[in-house]
Structure 1
């Protein structure tokens, strides 16, 4: 994103550090649980192959906690993602709620931080626009207010710059001036001009469609594409 090096860079570093800290804490907690539980400990490598059997609430809670910690050691997850994973393992709903509430209390699960990191990563690496980012956050179960707050980090200038990068990559150029425009020869016959116009329109539609699939609005997409075609 086109942020100032002092403010944007610091925020990004803090968010990445927060993510690493959370994952490290999850990893430590998982190892701690395994040491405390002894023979009842659930090895993280065996979790995916375990079919939950009727068990005591304490055992069910321990089982759920280990699944959550395993998931968090891999990457930061939203509360909904973790709840879905536990539901897939037939963990009772009340246990899911209890475990995830506790994880939020100790800051191992934080949807606000998750949304910020998701936007930063997906816009920065995949060049996704706000519309696509908002849809993805909704799919992850992020509250609308938290999603909007995270999306504020992506400015209009960021979106325009990302559109330019996407078009340049598609055309294999580094600036609008390098683009091989399809010129309409007014002195040519109608058949020739019609063919030229069709080719130009085809290229415009292809590029605009590509940008809109990435989550950018049509007017911005057309404005950027018009600088290259």
Structure 2
């Protein structure tokens, strides 16, 4: 397998997991003679090959990918050269990574803005990219999202369990549920109280 292929990134299209897998496959399928890029040093070639294997599974931040490669005993110089080539191929962009992370984690896990910011910091994403990724999430969005989560949770309960529910216990569980997704306690209590009141209203 050669990793000397040209940039497979389609201009202006965000690298999602599916597009990333397609782009990685395109790079791996290229013959070395088809590239106008200089060959990588042998150690960097090995590191770039390992990077492509990691990127087949999901997008990663540059910091995350660097740490994984260093953990596989690739030298820092080889990792630097490999990551430079991966960027040229369009497979490594922290701004795109942050945007995709926010969209996916918010949709599938219901994460709050604060929780998403913390997760991205843990992955070594720069503050400027984090700010851009969460810029569309304001206080009203947080309230609406938390309300949807609580309503979905309550909707799974049977009519009998709603009648027999210990409201204080239910309140604690729902507030904790939102707290695990990063929502502030004050917001969580406001949303939960409103939705529980709606449940018991005639």
Q: Do the structures match in fold with TM over 0.5?
A: yes
The alignment's C-alpha RMSD in Å is 2.7
Distance between the aligned counterparts of 2:28 and 2:47, measured in 1? 11
Counterpart among 102, 123, 128 of residue 145 in structure 1: 128
Task: Summarize the alignment of residues 47-196 of structure 1 with structure 2, pairs less than 5 Å apart.
Answer: 58-172=41-155, 180=162
> Matched residue pairs, number?
175
Distance between the aligned counterparts of 1:105 and 1:85, measured in 2? 19
Distance between the aligned counterparts of 2:178 and 2:94, measured in 1? 28
Partner of 2:29: 31
Alignment partner of 2:167: what SS? helix
Larger Rg: 1
Distance between the aligned counterparts of 1:137 and 1:117, measured in 2? 11
* Contact 2:48 2:85 survives alignment (8 Å): no
Is there any run of 5+ residues in structure 1 with no aligned partner, and where? Answer: 1-12, 38-56, 183-195
Distance between the aligned counterparts of 1:158 and 1:181, measured in 2? 30
Q: 1:14 to 1:124 in 2, by over 3 A?
A: farther
Partner of 1:221: 188
**Alpha-carbon distance, 1:216 to partner:** 0.7
Counterpart among 163, 176, 184 of residue 209 in structure 1: 176
**Alpha-carbon distance, 1:228 to partner:** 2.5
**Alpha-carbon distance, 1:64 to partner:** 0.5
Q: Normalising by the residue count of structure 2, what TM-score does the alignment of the two structures yield?
A: 0.76
**Alpha-carbon distance, 1:173 to partner:** 6.0
Runs (4+) off by over 4 Å: 179-182
**Alpha-carbon distance, 1:112 to partner:** 0.3
Distance between the aligned counterparts of 2:120 and 2:184, measured in 1? 18
Distance between the aligned counterparts of 2:107 and 2:19, measured in 1? 21
**Alpha-carbon distance, 1:68 to partner:** 1.0
